[in-house]
Structure 1
Amino acid sequence: MRFLSALIALTLIGTMAALSNARAGDVKIVKAEASQAADKTWRFDVTLLHADTGWDHYADLWEVYAPDGTLLGKRVLAHPHVNEQPFTRSLSGVEVPDGTHEVIIKARDSVHGVSPQEFELKLPR
């Protein structure tokens, strides 16, 4: 009986770990900030969290969108950040249309593609 209980417990733990790993594969946008430059373009600083494992699986991109879905800018991440989590990268020179008061940031990893998370950022105007 003890053996059966232990086997069931191990099976449940394994199933829970597998489900947790499946959900942990997406990139998480932890934080984002925006600031406007003198030339009226914008700089975005975005902090991502992802379980990068190396070149085979890493957060490789984040993008800034207008509320209507127009792509305003993208930051390609050129390498994995295995030992730097979470990490922040910037993108300058982004042109945001006048009258836009918020943007949407999306992130992607090299295995799962674009994360379902959409980070809404109010612009400090």
Structure 2
Amino acid sequence: MKIVWIGLLAGLLLGCGGERVVEQETGGKTAVSLPIAPTSRANADVVHVRAVATATDTWIFHVTVTHPDTGWNDYANGWDVVLPDGTVILPNPADEPFTRLLLHPHETEQPFTRSQSNIVIPAHITTVTVRAHDLLDGFGGKEVVVDLAQAAGDDFEVER
């Protein structure tokens, strides 16, 4: 079943660079290295991130995204937490292609914040990148680099 899902995920990603998908285990959760192939048209922007440590190496991320959603054909449909080596943290790898899947448009709620718990980040990792995905145009909007060793930055907060 896992191989079928990875195959389907790879097929979905062909529009985002067509690179191969590599699966690996990190802290009991599956992470997948996905291409970070931005497009010039993508306009799902991460505007703020609040990362809260909930246990050793485990976090909840509250991510604020803005995108000019126009309905079911063009909306921000997910966001990722990406490790420095390009690995995308997937808390629900069998169910969702992003760190946080967004299931519907937010036409009248902009910007909007959605949260995801059980994000396992190895202790030696000090920075992560948070990016948003545009259903129509993929990745390529504003990303936020979160320094987990700092309490705050211009567009992020960290609570330990």
- TM-score category, normalised to shorter length: 0.7 to 0.9
TM-score by length of structure 1 reads 0.75
Distance (Å, rounded) in 1 between the aligned partners of 2:121 and 2:47: 22
**Displacement after TM superposition at 1:25 (Å):** 5.2
Aligned to 1:12: none
Compare the two structures and name the one with the higher helix fraction. 1
CA deviations over 1:40-67 (Å, ceiling 9, x no partner): 4100000000000110110001000111
Q: Choose which of 66, 76, 79 in structure 2 pairs with 1:59.
A: 76
Indicate yes or no: 2:126 matched with 1:90: no
**Counterparts of residues 61-76 of structure 1 (less than 5 Å):** 61-73=78-90, 74-76=99-101
Which entry has the higher C-alpha Rg, 1 or 2? 1
Aligned to 2:124: 99
Q: Give the counterpart letter for 2:83 in structure 1.
A: A
CA deviations over 1:70-90 (Å, ceiling 9, x no partner): 111310000000000000000
Q: Give the counterpart letter for 2:143 in structure 1.
A: E
Distance (Å, rounded) in 2 between the aligned partners of 1:80 and 1:61: 11
How big is the alpha-carbon RMSD for the aligned residues of Structure 1 and Structure 2?
Answer: 1.8
Percent identical: 41
Q: Which sections of structure 1, spanning at least 5 residues, go unmatched? A: 1-22
Distance (Å, rounded) in 2 between the aligned partners of 1:50 and 1:37: 29
Q: Secondary structure at the match of 1:106?
A: strand
Q: How many residues get paired? A: 103
Q: Which sections of structure 2, spanning at least 5 residues, go unmatched? A: 1-39, 91-98, 149-157
Q: Choose which of 10, 24, 28 in structure 1 pairs with 2:45.
A: 28
Q: Secondary structure at the match of 2:69?
A: coil
Q: Secondary structure at the match of 1:84?
A: coil
TM-score by length of structure 2 reads 0.60
**Displacement after TM superposition at 1:24 (Å):** 7.6
